[in-house]
Chains A and B, each alone.
Chain A
Amino acid sequence: MSAADKIIEMSNELRWRLGNEFHDEITEGIYADAHEIVAETVTTDSRKGRNAADIAIDKIVTSKIWGFPIMFLILAIVLWITIIGANYPSSWLASLLLDTIHPALKDGANYLNFPWWLSGFLIDGVYLALAWVISVMLPPMAIFFPLFTLLEDFGYLPRVAFNLDYLFKKAGAHGKQALTMSMGFGCNAAGVVATRIIDSPRERLIAIITNNFSLCNGRWPTQILIATIFIGAIVPSVFSGVAAVAAVIGIAVLGMGFMFFSSWALSKTLLKGEVSTFNLELPPYRPPRFWKTLYTSLIDRTLIVLWRAIVFAAPAGAVIWLISNIDIDGYSIAYWMIHALDGFGWLLGLNGVILVAYIVAIPANEIVIPTILMLTVLVTGIHAGEGAGVMFELGSASETGELLSAGGWTLLTAINLMLFSLLHNPCSTTIYTIYKETKSFKWTTVATLMPVFMGFVVTFLVAQLWRIFFQ
Chain B
Amino acid sequence: MESKNLKSACESCPQYNPNGLKKLGVDVEKYDFVVALAGNPNTGKSTVFNALTGLRQHTGNWPGKTVTRAEGGFQYNDQKYKLVDLPGTYSLLSTSEDEEVARNFILFGKPDVTVIVVDAGRLERNLNLVIQILEITNKAVVCLNLMDEAKRNHIEINTRALAKRLGVPVVAASARFNEGIPELINVVSEVANGTIVCKPHRIKNVPKHIDEAVKKLSEALKKQFPTLPNSRWIAFRLLEGDQRVLEALRTEEFNPS
Contact = CB atoms under 8 A, between A and B. Distances in A.
A300 interface: yes
Contacts of A152: 60-62
Nearest to B156: A43
Contacts of A284: 121, 149
A406 interface: no
A387 interface: no
A296 B176 CA distance: 14
A32 B63 CA distance: 25
Interface string A348-377: 000000000000000000000000000000
A395 interface: no
A46 to B, nearest CB: 9
Contacts of A197: 63-64, 67, 98
B127 A283 contact: no
A5 B238 CA distance: 12
A49 B165 CA distance: 25
A326 B45 CA distance: 55
B105 to A, nearest CB: 15
Contacts, number: 185
B153 to A, nearest CB: 6
A280 to B, nearest CB: 8
B227 to A, nearest CB: 15
B4 interface: no
A157 interface: yes
A15 B241 contact: yes
B167 to A, nearest CB: 11
B220 interface: yes
Contact of B162 (A5, A25, A41): A41
A329 interface: no
A93 B217 CA distance: 70
Q: How large is the interface on A (under 10, 10 to 19, 20 to 34, 35 or more residues)?
A: 35 or more
Given A26-B93, A29-B203, A283 B63 contact: yes
B61 A31 contact: no
B60 A33 contact: no
Interface stretch (A16-24, A378-386, A441-449): A16-24
Contact of A14 (B61, B98, B217): B217
A149 B58 contact: yes
Interface residues of B, number: 69
A25 B212 CA distance: 14
Contacts of B42: 281, 283
Contact of B56 (A3, A36, A299): A299
B58 A51 contact: no
A40 B58 contact: no
Given A4-B250, A14-B217, A37-B162, A22 B239 contact: yes
Contacts of A176: 64
Given A37-B166, A295-B56, A193 B68 contact: yes
Contacts of B249: 4, 7-8
Interface in B199-257: 201, 203-207, 209-210, 213, 216-217, 220-221, 224, 235-236, 238-241, 246, 249-250, 252
B3 interface: no
Given A33-B205, A157-B62, A281-B63, A51 B153 contact: yes
B104 to A, nearest CB: 15
Contacts of B95: 199
A10 interface: yes
A18 B61 contact: no
A37 B210 contact: no
Contacts of B58: 149, 296-297, 300-301
A2 to B, nearest CB: 8
Given A34-B128, A34-B131, A43-B156, A158 B63 contact: yes
A210 to B, nearest CB: 18
12 contacts: A8-B249, A11-B239, A18-B239, A26-B203, A30-B128, A30-B203, A34-B127, A179-B62, A194-B64, A197-B64, A281-B42, A300-B56
Interface of B: 41-42, 56-64, 67-68, 87, 90-91, 93-98, 121, 123-125, 127-128, 130-132, 149, 152-159, 161-162, 165-166, 176, 201, 203-207, 209-210, 213, 216-217, 220-221, 224, 235-236, 238-241, 246, 249-250, 252
